[in-house]
């Protein structure tokens, strides 16, 4: 009598949520050749046994001379079939200089850009996706403790869902992310050795008759 086949375990449906600026400043800011990161390649290497549903990339448009580089990168991401880009915004706020005996008293106050909405956008997306039951696992790439309430809500309201955190950091202090790691089911450092193998080509078609090219400063 033939041995009946062993039933295979279905691959978990997975959605990845990427905190774009946290990934940028944690892993690639000081390594220009790594900034041209193909996040679909990265996620497939991170989760080779998962049924990857979608990758949600959250960021905000910066201002200044480097904005064209960011816009080119967002164009590159738009060519990836599994990627959705969700943009927040930057808002300037007045901050008082904390240096005692400042030599420039008239300049005690200065403007600082502050990213808005990204944390809320990520948390809302995670809760909504869990509620709609479109995934079994939620993979978060970030080290931001502001995301703890969103992770905790998913765990408390949807106990069958698993939340996995990858912390992107080259700095041990920044990479500690104690609160966020503790809130997840599982956590680990983002494996930085994967990044050189997950880059876009230097130039490739945009699908509309044009070319997308790596910014010169990212070589």
Q: What is the pLDDT of residues 109-143, one digit of tens each?
A: 554 445 558 999 999 999 999 999 999 999 999 99
Q: For residue 63, what pLDDT is reported?
A: 83
Domain for residue 7, yes or no? no
Closest CA to 77 of 100, 101, 104, 58: 58
**Domain count of the fold of the chain:** 1
pLDDT at 191 over 70: yes
How high is the pLDDT of residue 105? 55
Q: pTM of this prediction?
A: 0.87
Range of the domain at 110: 13-218
- With a cut of 80, say whether residue 11 has pLDDT above it: yes
Cβ–Cβ under 8 Å, residues 203 and 214: yes
Please give the average per-residue pLDDT across 65-84, as a whole number: 96
Partnered with residue 57 across adjacent β-strands are 18, 85
Q: Supply the pLDDT for residue 102.
A: 62
**3 belongs to a structural domain:** no
**Residue 39 pLDDT:** 98
Query: Is the pLDDT assigned to residue 25 strictly greater than 50?
Result: yes
What letter would DSSP give residue 51? Answer: E
Nearest to 188 by CA among 154, 140, 150: 140
Q: What is the CATH number of the domain that holds 198?
A: 3.40.50.1010
Q: What tokens were used for 177? A: 């992310």
**29 in a domain, yes or no?**
yes
With respect to residue 4, please indicate whether it lies within any of the assigned structural domains: no
Could you tell me if residue 211 is inside a domain?
yes
Residue 1 lies in a domain: no
* Residues ≥6 apart with Cβ < 8 Å to 21: 59, 60, 115, 118
């Amino acid at each position: 009598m033939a041995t009946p086949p062993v039933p295979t375990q279905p691959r978990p449906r997975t959605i990845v949520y990427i905190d774009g600026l946290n990934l940028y400043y944690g892993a690639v800011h000081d390594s220009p050749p790594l900034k041209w990161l193909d996040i679909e390649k990265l996620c497939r290497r991170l989760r080779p046994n998962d049924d990857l549903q979608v990758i949600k990339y959250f960021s905000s448009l910066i201002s200044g001379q480097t904005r064209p580089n960011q816009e080119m990168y967002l164009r590159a991401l738009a060519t990836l079939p599994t990627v959705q880009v969700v943009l927040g915004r930057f808002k300037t706020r007045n901050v008082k200089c904390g240096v005692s005996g400042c030599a420039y008293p008239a300049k005690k106050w200065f403007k600082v850009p502050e990213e808005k909405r990204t944390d809320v956008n990520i948390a809302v997306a995670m809760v909504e996706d869990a509620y709609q039951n479109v995934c079994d696992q939620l993979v978060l790439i970030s080290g931001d403790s502001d995301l703890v309430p969103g992770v905790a809500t998913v765990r408390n309201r949807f106990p069958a869902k698993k939340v996995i955190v990858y912390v992107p950091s080259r700095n041990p202090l920044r990479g500690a992310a104690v609160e966020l790691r503790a809130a997840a089911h599982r956590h680990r450092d983002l494996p930085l050795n994967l990044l050189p193998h997950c880059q876009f080509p230097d130039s490739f078609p945009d699908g509309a008759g044009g070319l997308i090219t790596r910014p010169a400063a990212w070589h």
